[in-house]
Amino acid sequence: MSSNYYHKKIILLLAFFLAFATAGAQSIDELKQNINNHGEKIKQLEEEIRAYEKQIETIGGEAKTLQNAIKVLDINQKKLGAEIKKTETNIQKTNLTIKNLNGEIGNMEEKIAANMEAISKILNDINQKDAQSLIESFLTNKSLADVFDEYESIGQFQQKVRTRSKELEIYKNELSNKKTDTEAEKKKLVSLKTELGDQNKILDLNKREKNNLLAVTKNKEAEYKKILTERQAEKERFERELFQFESQLKRAVDPNSFPSSGKGILFWPLDNVFITQYFGKTIDAKRLYISGTHNGVDFRASRGTPVKAALSGIVIGTGNTDEQRGCYSYGKWILIKHPNGLSTLYAHLDLIRVSANQNIQTGEVIGYSGQTGYSTGPHLHITVYASQGVEIQRYSSSINCKNMNIPVASINAYLDPMLYF
């Protein structure tokens, strides 16, 4: 075969590579543009969500009135709607990204196959040449230099194709890894959509709460103030009972059974941390609690904010003190026992996602913050106990909460959460 034959083959193969390189380029470019458009939409929705959060914070910080309570519920509904749209857009963006990666991976596989086929053909040609003696090759060509040039050009082209094939294989593996990462991200987004679905349920409950409140108060501020005053009085009665009861408990708590203190022993239960009240004898504690001591830490959190486990452990129990009229306490709560001798209580939740005896991992979403129980506004309450000193009891000696199961602890079992976060 003449050198022209191999030159033509090189040109055809190069054209073949270019054809694959441009095949589907337009659709891939369109996908990337679509992905960018979704990214812009997500940014716009994030700005909308931040604006709603500022409105909720402003109105929630003003004097408690019936109209303000209704406004907060309405704005929160809009905020959750925007978050749902954001998540759905994120899922669409991820699907487009996966589709784009699949197209690029397919192109790379075709290029690799084409290169390997080219190598196979060239090796076959070389084998045929090897079967021909050097003298025969010389007799069929103009000169010995032509023979060497022919073999050298074949070898160079073969090396180029081999190198290109290795590069494409590496690129294919990189794309496969990206695809795996993107699919994992998609699972996260689908999970987030489920969480937002839960939050939508919470807002539906809040809507019913709004309707019930309007029905009870007949949309009169005076009636709303009366209800708040009654709740405050019932809450104080319950706290007086609980404080006296827990003061009489004499549970032995070994100080070596739990960590003394240390930052990072527990992880923050919220993505955005803003503390509104600390543990112990604070000004607010003296004003709001009969004991004059706040038994945990309060975090600012709008209704429907995901609450995460501060550490892995097992759910000892859950409950809802709102099931008994007049029991203005923790509302919906979760108690988790951790392997290091600490237990954590999460209170005033709107929705609980876990159940008793369930194993929980650090950072796992266990529920959503809210305004159940006695609460002057939406927030998350966290109490940290020495596990030896706390247990769940049916508080039968209570007047207002006698049928409720709640965590009770001796005074020495309450710990300052800020020593562990």
**Is 102 a domain residue?**
yes
User: Please, where are the H alpha helices in 61-143?
Assistant: 66-131, 134-139
What pLDDT is attached to residue 265?
96
User: In this predicted structure, what is the pLDDT of residue 149?
Assistant: 66
Note whether 176 and 56 are same-domain residues. Answer: yes
Cα(74)–Cα(367) distance, rounded to whole angstroms?
21
Pair 309, 203 in one domain: no
Number of domains in the chain: 2
The answer to whether 297 touches 418, Cβ cutoff 8 Å, is yes
Q: Is the pLDDT of residue 25 over 70?
A: no
Q: Are residues 315 and 402 in the same domain?
A: yes
pLDDT tens digit sequence for 301-348 = 988 889 999 999 999 999 999 998 888 889 999 999 999 999 999 999
Residue 182 main-chain phi, psi, to 5 deg = -70, -40
With bands split at pLDDT 50, 70 and 90, how would you rate the model's confidence at 21? very low
- pLDDT, one tens digit per residue, over 340-380 is 999 999 999 999 999 999 999 999 999 999 989 888 778 89
Percent of the chain with pLDDT over 90: 29
| pLDDT of the residue at 288 | 38
Question: Angle, nearest 10°, between helix axes 144-217 and 221-248?
Answer: 100
pLDDT at 29 over 80: yes
The partner residues of 407 in beta bridges, in order of sequence, read 392
According to the model, what pLDDT value does residue 141 have?
Answer: 56
Global confidence as pTM = 0.75
Six-digit token string for 269: 């239960």
CA distance 209 to 213: 6
Condensed to tens digits (0 to 9), the pLDDT of residues 111-155 reads: 777 767 776 776 676 666 555 555 565 566 556 566 566 656 666
Please state which of the ranges 155-164, 191-200, 270-279, 363-372 shows the lowest mean pLDDT.
Answer: 155-164
**354 closest CA partner among 312, 400, 384:** 312
What confidence tier does 26 reach under pLDDT thresholds 50, 70, 90? Answer: low
Report the chain's mean pLDDT, rounded to a whole number.
Answer: 81
Tokens (6 digits) for 207: 């809507």
What is residue 356's predicted lDDT score, i.e. its pLDDT?
Answer: 96
| 196 and 268 belong to one structural domain | no
Q: Which token pair is 212?
A: 């019930």
Whole-number pLDDT of residue 150: 62
Most confident residue range from 30-44, 228-242, 286-300: 30-44
Q: Examine residue 166 and state whether it is found in any structural domain, yes or no.
A: yes
Beta strands in 203-312 (DSSP E): 275-277, 297-300, 306-308
Q: Which residue has the higher pLDDT, 116 or 409?
A: 409
- Are 273 and 415 in a shared domain? yes
Helix (H, G, I), strand (E, B) or coil at 237: helix
In a domain, residue 226? The reply is no
- Return the C-alpha torsion angle 130, 135, 140, 143, nearest 10: 110
Segment 185-190 long-range contacts (CB within 8 Å, at least 24 positions apart): 185/94, 186/91, 186/94, 186/95, 186/98, 189/87, 189/90, 189/91, 189/94, 190/91
Q: Please check whether residue 74 lies inside any domain of the structure.
A: yes
Which H helix or E strand runs over 368?
strand 365-369
CATH assignment at residue 310: 2.70.70.10
Mean pLDDT of 194-211: 83
Query: Which is higher by pLDDT, 48 or 146?
Result: 48
Is residue 221 included in any domain, yes or no? no
Statement to judge: residues 281 and 201 lie in one domain: no
Task: Give the pLDDT confidence score for residue 19 in this predicted structure.
Answer: 42
Same structural domain, 58 and 120: yes
Supply the pLDDT for residue 229.
86
- 410's tokens: 């001796």
**Residue 45, domain member (yes or no):** yes
| Nearest-angstrom CA–CA distance, 161 and 144 | 26
- Are 169 and 312 found together in one domain? no
* One-letter amino acid of 7: H
| Highest-confidence segment of 3-12, 24-33, 308-317, 386-395 | 308-317
Range with lowest mean pLDDT among 116-125, 400-409, 411-420: 116-125
- pLDDT for position 91: 86
Q: Where are the beta strands (DSSP E) in 272-341?
A: 275-277, 297-300, 306-308, 313-320, 332-337
Q: Give the range of the structural domain holding residue 152, as residue numbers without chain letter.
A: 3-210
Boundary (domain end) residue, out of 189, 210, 231: 210
DSSP 8-state assignment for residue 392: E
